[in-house]
Amino acid sequence: MVKRRLALLPLAAGLCAAFPAQAAWDFTPQASARVTWSDNLGRLPDERAESGIVLELTPGFQLENHSPRFQFRMAYALHLYQYAGHRPPSAQRHSQSLRSDLRSRLVDELLFLDAQAAVSQQTVSAFGPLGGDSDYLRNNRNEVRSYQVSPYLVHRFGAFANGELRYRHDAVSSDNIGFRRSTGNTVSASLASGPSFRRFGWTASVSRGVVEDKLPPTGERENEQTSSSKNANLALRYAASPQLNVGVFGGYDSYDFDGLGGAQSGAAYGASVDWTPSARTSLKASAGHRFYGPSYSLALQHRSRGTVWNIAYSDAVSSTRSQFVLPQAVDTAAMLDNLFRAQIPDAALRAAIVQAYMQSSGLPPTLPNSVNFLSNRYSLLKQLNASMAWQLARTTSVLTVFKSRREMLSSQAVDSTLLGNTFSSLNDNTEQLGVSASVSYRIGPHTTAALAASAVNVESLTVARDNRHRDVRAHLARNFGARASAMVEVRRARGNAGLGGQQYTENVVSAVLTAKF
């Protein structure tokens, strides 16, 4: 079991060893010890709640290499759990997490390589317990493993055009028997106008993707299915001014779910605007039509001396696996990097300060987003994300709001093993609305206090079922030099204990000590 769960670790290390670089490797071992007391350790319905203590030891490491030709970063942690007193039936002995990213220039101005690998504990259903603070529980959580490798060629056709040809291979798997294991292969090509086009520009792109799904076996036979997509697009733009570009686009989208719902296709067309009034503000928006109906997109970014704003909206055909391979969440470090840019011009120093701030404030790697629950189906995903960070002399605040709607496009039958026949309609059509806020206050050079709260509402648009998750927490963190820190936290959470709709309430006190070597 452990060997299977660690399968992606040699893959990530192999990517690292395959491409030597001039810069030295930076290997940082680290470990943390945490003790957690909960009055409802298993997140069971209130009338069945039992208290208990979890002792957690987490060895791990960070591995980095940065050079002009090679950018690599990997963070791995193995979580080991021991229980004192009550041990819930869903408790596990260990879990793991991995995030790795590779960017490499193999041949100057010709051949490049991107690769990622990840292991994480993910929510099975949006109608059960939510939150990533109880990875020691398998209640509504499963381990998901994903990776992708993407070599690509670029070429300049003089001043006429720039071209790219890319191949991507990816895979997603889970220890949940109801969630398919799948591999994907995508080939895409694009050609964009070069410097010789001044006022008018153009972009042409095509892509072809195939996903092989291995669903739970039927009887003694393996159950494999294939889905595919084809996309073609041509966009024309006009530079009305150095800051403003307007354009139109047209193309064709085709999806074939092959037993998961059949083929769906149609023309795509619309108009777009790209406005950059200053180095601190940018706006990209489009409006048009695709085979599923009206289609819109928006990406607004603004930065002032003390604030950063991000607003994004999109609609697209999506799936659970595609969001693991190409996540769309807002990167917390990137947002804070923009926030600290005015005060800290040096990029390397700013990155180190951002990482230290995230650790002391208890901020996650990505800002809160809609729950990516497990499903084998394809959907039309419409989502709006808005986030704002605000910095004062001693206080930094982060606010996020999201709203998403999933309308399933493929067959319900492929989720029968995942949810069971009783709850098979829960994933039909869902809507999520969430808000989170955190405020951290720097008491002194080495001490930070933080308060955070979140609320998520999940509603099924097919059956009468919803989940209203609430979470509030406060913690005090202190750094002991550059390589050691400690934190004490209190937390209260309330939400659904399971798919049946029963409620749970949990109060938690935890303390953690972290060291880097």
Task: Kindly report whether the global pTM for this prediction surpasses the value 0.95.
Answer: no
> Which of 233, 279, 270 shows the shortest CA–CA distance to 252?
233
The span from the CA of 73 to the CA of 147, in Å, is 14
Whether 371 contacts 467, CB under 8 Å? no
DSSP 330: P
Distance between CA 377 and CA 430 in Å, rounded? 13
Q: How many helices (H) and strands (E) does the chain have?
A: 6, 22
Hey, CA dihedral for 271, 289, 462, 174, is it positive or negative? Answer: negative
Q: Max alpha carbon distance in the chain (Å)? A: 73
Contact 48, 77 (CB under 8 A): no
56: which strand partners?
34, 81
Instruction: Per-residue pLDDT tens, the chain, 517 aa: give them.
Output: 444 444 444 444 445 544 554 557 899 999 999 999 999 999 999 899 999 999 999 999 999 998 888 899 999 999 999 999 778 888 999 999 999 999 999 999 899 999 999 999 888 888 888 876 778 988 888 899 999 999 999 999 999 999 999 999 999 999 888 887 899 999 999 999 999 998 999 999 999 999 998 766 655 556 678 889 999 999 999 999 999 999 999 999 999 876 555 678 899 999 999 999 998 999 999 999 999 999 999 999 999 888 999 999 999 998 888 888 877 666 777 777 777 776 777 777 777 777 777 777 777 777 667 788 888 888 899 999 999 999 888 899 999 999 999 998 887 877 777 777 666 677 788 999 999 999 999 998 889 999 999 999 999 888 888 899 999 999 999 989 888 999 999 999 999 987 777 899 999 999 999 999 8
| Under 8 Å between Cβ of 450 and 441 | yes
343: Cβ–Cβ under 8 A, 6 or more apart, which residues?
Answer: none
CA separation for the pair 396, 429 (Å, rounded): 37
Residue type, 337: D
- If phi > 0 it is left, if psi is from -120 to 50 it is alpha, else beta; for residue 501 that is left
State in Å, rounded, how far the first CA of the chain is from the last one.
Answer: 29
Q: How far apart are CA 56 and CA 79, in angstroms?
A: 7
How do strand 447-460 and strand 466-479 relate by DSSP bridges? antiparallel
Would you call 87 exposed, middle or buried from its count of C-beta atoms within 10 A (0-12, 13-18, 19+)? Answer: middle
With both helix axes pointing from N to C terminus, report the angle between 347-361 and 332-340 in degrees, rounded to the nearest 10. 120
- Cα separations in angstroms, 173 against 9, 220, 320, 416: 14, 21, 11, 18
